[in-house]
Amino acid sequence: MTTKQQSNEYLEAEYQEPIEQVGYDFGISRRGFVKVLGAGLLITVSAGTVLGQRGGRREMGRVQHLSQRIHIAKDGKITVMTGKVEGGQGARAELTQAAAEELHVPVSQVELVMGDTSLVPDDGITAGSMTTPLTVPPVRKGAAAARQGLVQIAADRWKVNPTDVEVRDGKIIHAASGRTLSYAELAQGDEFGAAFEQAPPADITITPVKEWKILGVSVPRPNSRDLVTGAHKYPSDIVRPGMLYGKVLRPVSYGAKLVSIDLEGAKAMKGVVAVQDDQFVGVAAPTTHQARKALEAIAQSAKWEPAVQPSSREVFDHLRSSVRGDVPKNPFAEQLANAGKVLKQTYHVSYVQHAPLETRTALAEWDDGKLTVWTGSQNPFGCRGELARAFHLPNESVRVIVPDFGGGYGGKHSGEAVVEAARLAKAAGRPVLLKWTREEEFTWAYFRPAAVIDIEAGLDPKGQITSWHFININSGPSAINTPYRIAKVDCRFVPSDSPLRQSSYRALAATANNFARECFMDELAAAADADPLEFRLAHLDNPRLRAVLEEAAKRFNWRERVKQKQPDVGMGLACGTEKNSCVAACAEIAVDREHNRIAVRHVCEVFECGTIINPDNLSAQVQGCVIMGLGPALREEMQFADGKIQNPNFKHYLVPRFNDLPELDIHLLNRSDLASTGGGETPIIAIAPAIANAVFHATGARIRRMPIRLPENVQA
C-alpha cells in the first residue's frame, strides 16, 4: 500500500472548501511511501489544484432522465431519489416536502431514497448549506415535470386540453366530465415509461410560494418514529452475514513511520485476521472485544520512527512563521496616516473537533470483485471515488450506501474509514464493520483549522472607518469580506502549514473571520466612543443584515440593557452574513470569578435565510448552532504536543451539555420574496463574538482568542 496526501480543491463550483483525503492506494504498483493518515499532517489548500481522475466538473442536480429522480410504481408508490444525505440537518423532510408539493400528494406518499450511489443521481456533497438552494429546486422541477407528464397522458387519453384538468392527492381530475385517473392507474399504462425516460423539460414551472401547501410547513422528519423506537439502522447498526469487526493500528504519534511489526500475536487468536499492507495494519475478529485484544497484542511489537511536530502551545507562532508566500502588507498607508486613530489587533482561534456522536463507521463487503460499503458520510460519491482510486476499480464496481447517520457538521467529507474497512474486508474475505473509537475520531479525523487573524483599521474624527485591512492566516476565506461600508478594504486569506489535518466544519472559516471582525468592530466602536449597535448601523448598508441586527436589538432590549451596569454582568452583540443568509445575536453573560468561568445567561438571535421551507426544522438548526457554538466559544480546543492529542475524550474536551443552556430567544425572519437558502451553518457565526464583546462590557477586558477565557486580572 502507498498513500498520497492529496489536497484537493473540491470540484464543485458551489463548494470551495478543500477536502483533505488520506489518499490510500492499495494498488499493485507502489508509488513510494509518502504519508499515511495521521502520519500526516498535511498540506492544506493549494488553490487551483484539481484531481485528474475526476474527468472534469460534475454537474450537480441534473438528471438525464426523469426516472433517475422519480419513480412511480404500478401500485402508485412514489419514490424520489437524491444524492443528498441526512445527518440530522433536516434534508430528508425538506426534500420530501419539495417532491410532495409539486406532485400534489401528501408527504406520507413519498419515499425518499438518499445517498445510495447505485440508485440516486449525484447531487453533490451534502455541505455548504447547499441542499436548500441547489437540490430543492431540481427535486421540485423533477416532481413538477412528473406531474405534468402524468397530466398530459391523462389529457391525451381523455382527448381534453391539459389545462382543463387538475391534480389533487395523486389523482388527475377532469371535473367537466367527472373522470379521474390516479397516478397508480397511469403508471400501469404503456405511455408512462416513455414519459419518464425523457429529460425533465428545462422550462418547467414550479408552484409559487403563495400557493405552497406542504413547503413552508413544519413537516416532521419522515422516519421520526424509527428514531424513538431504536428501529432505525444507522451505519454502525448494519449487520451482514458472516461479518467481522475491524480495528486499525494508528501511529503512536502524528508523522510516525512504522518500521516493523509482528502480526503473529493476532494471527494466533481464533477467528482473527490480521493484515499489513506497508503502513496500513489492521485486524478483523468475530467481536469488537476480540478485535481490540488482537490489536493490543500486535501494537506492543510495533517499532515506530517518530517525527517532530509542533505543539498547540506554539501553534500560532508556527502558523505565522510557516505561511506560504508573503503576508500582504497594508496597502492603505495614506489613509492610516490621515486617520485620527489607528487600531491594530491580532485574534487567535484554536483547532476544534466536530465530535459527531456517531464516530466514523463503515461496513465493507466484497462480492466477485465488486465492493459495497455502508457508511455515514456527507459525501457518498466522493467516498465512491476514494474507493475506486484506492483499489483501482471503475466507479461502476463500487457502491456506497449512506443510511441516515449520527451527525456530521462538516466533519464527514472524507472517506478514510470506508477505505480502511474495504481493505480489511478484502483481507478477511468477509464483510468487515469498522467503527472508529472516540479517541480515534478525536485524533485521526480532520479538525476545524486554527486561525491567526490580523486586522488594522483607521478611524476619522467623526467615527467613520476609513480603511480596513484583514489577514486570515490558515483558516480560510469564508465570510472574510466585511459587510460594512468602508472606503478602502483589503481582505486576504493566506495559507500556512497546518500541523493538524484540517478541513470543513459548520460554517467553515466564517466563524473565525466573523469572530475577529465583530470583536474588532467593538473595539473600533469604543475608540469612537460609540454604542456598538449604533456604530455598526452607521456603517451598514445591507438591508437584510440591518433588519436582523435591529430585530435582535429590539427583542433583546439592547439600548436599555447595555446602559444598566451590574457588577460582572455584560451585554454584547454581533452580526454577520454568509451563504446568502444573515444573523445577529445579543448575549448577556455573567463573570464567575470564583470558578474562573463565563456563564452565558441569555441569547437572543435573529436569523434570515429567505423563504422558510420548514420553520420547526430551521428553528432547531438555529438553536443547535447557538448551543454548539458555545463550545468552541468558551471551552473547546484541541491540545497537542509531541504529535499526540492530549484531550481526545469528552472528559477533557468539553462540549456543551444541558447545564450550559442559556435562556434562548430564537427568531426567524421569513422573507418569502427571497429564494430559500440554507440555515444550518450561518447561525453559528454570531455567538462567539457576542460573548467576547459581553465580557468586555462586564470587565473592560478585551478577549482576542477563541476559546474565550477570562484574563488573569479578572480571575479571583
**Residues contributing to the site for other proteins (CB under 8 A):** 86-90, 220-221, 224-225, 227-234, 236-237, 239, 245, 287-289, 354-359, 404-407, 409, 435, 437-438, 616-617, 620-621, 623-628, 649-651, 655-659, 661, 664
Measured CA to CA, the distance from residue 606 to residue 671 in angstroms comes to 13
Q: Strands 581-592, 597-608: parallel, antiparallel or unpaired by DSSP?
A: antiparallel
54 vs 650 by CB, closer to other proteins: 650
332 vs 405 by CB, closer to other proteins: 405
DSSP 132: I
Q: Which of 364, 370, 380 is nearest to 82 (CA)?
A: 380
Q: Whole-number minimum distance, CB 255 to other proteins, in Å?
A: 26
- In sequence order, the 6+-apart residues with CB closer than 8 A to the CB of 107 are 96, 97, 100, 214, 219, 222
Phi-psi region of 247 (alpha: psi -120 to 50; beta: other; left: phi over 0): beta
Cell of 501: 489535518
Q: Whole-number minimum distance, CB 232 to other proteins, in Å?
A: 7
Q: Whole-number minimum distance, CB 187 to other proteins, in Å?
A: 31
354 vs 469 by CB, closer to other proteins: 354
| Contact between residue 281 and residue 227 where contact means Cβ atoms under 8 Å apart | no
Q: Whole-number minimum distance, CB 355 to other proteins, in Å?
A: 6
Q: Whole-number minimum distance, CB 144 to other proteins, in Å?
A: 28
285 vs 692 by CB, closer to other proteins: 285
Query: Bridge partners of 258?
Result: 304
Q: Whole-number minimum distance, CB 208 to other proteins, in Å?
A: 28
First to last CA, the chain: 56
463 vs 648 by CB, closer to other proteins: 648
Measured CA to CA, the distance from residue 626 to residue 634 in angstroms comes to 12
Q: Whole-number minimum distance, CB 483 to other proteins, in Å?
A: 26
Q: Whole-number minimum distance, CB 85 to other proteins, in Å?
A: 11
| Contact between residue 468 and residue 490 where contact means Cβ atoms under 8 Å apart | yes
3 vs 131 by CB, closer to other proteins: 131
Q: Whole-number minimum distance, CB 293 to other proteins, in Å?
A: 9
For residues 657, 661, 664, 668, the Cα torsion angle rounded to the nearest 10 degrees is -10
86 vs 123 by CB, closer to other proteins: 86
72 vs 628 by CB, closer to other proteins: 628
340 vs 407 by CB, closer to other proteins: 407
Q: Which of 612, 454, 579, 595 is nearest to 508 (CA)?
A: 579
CA distances to 320, 479, 490, 495 from 326, in Å: 10, 22, 15, 10
Q: Whole-number minimum distance, CB 704 to other proteins, in Å?
A: 26
Measured CA to CA, the distance from residue 479 to residue 513 in angstroms comes to 6
40 vs 88 by CB, closer to other proteins: 88
For residues 180, 183, 186, 188, the Cα torsion angle rounded to the nearest 10 degrees is -130
DSSP 416: H
228 vs 337 by CB, closer to other proteins: 228
Q: At what angle do helices 687-699 and 615-634 cross, to 10 degrees?
A: 50
542 vs 623 by CB, closer to other proteins: 623
Q: Whole-number minimum distance, CB 269 to other proteins, in Å?
A: 12
Q: Whole-number minimum distance, CB 289 to other proteins, in Å?
A: 5
599 vs 661 by CB, closer to other proteins: 661
Q: Whole-number minimum distance, CB 138 to other proteins, in Å?
A: 25
Q: Which of 431, 319, 302 is nearest to 375 (CA)?
A: 431
Measured CA to CA, the distance from residue 375 to residue 403 in angstroms comes to 7
Backbone φ and ψ of 709, nearest 5°? -125, 150
Long-range contacts of 647-650, Cβ-Cβ distance < 8 Å, separation of 24 or more: 647/442, 648/438, 648/439, 648/442, 648/443, 649/438, 649/439, 649/442, 650/355, 650/438
Query: Bridge partners of 451?
Result: 349
Measured CA to CA, the distance from residue 631 to residue 648 in angstroms comes to 15
90 vs 128 by CB, closer to other proteins: 90
Q: Whole-number minimum distance, CB 113 to other proteins, in Å?
A: 19
CA distances to 64, 205, 265, 318 from 299, in Å: 51, 62, 9, 32
DSSP 184: H
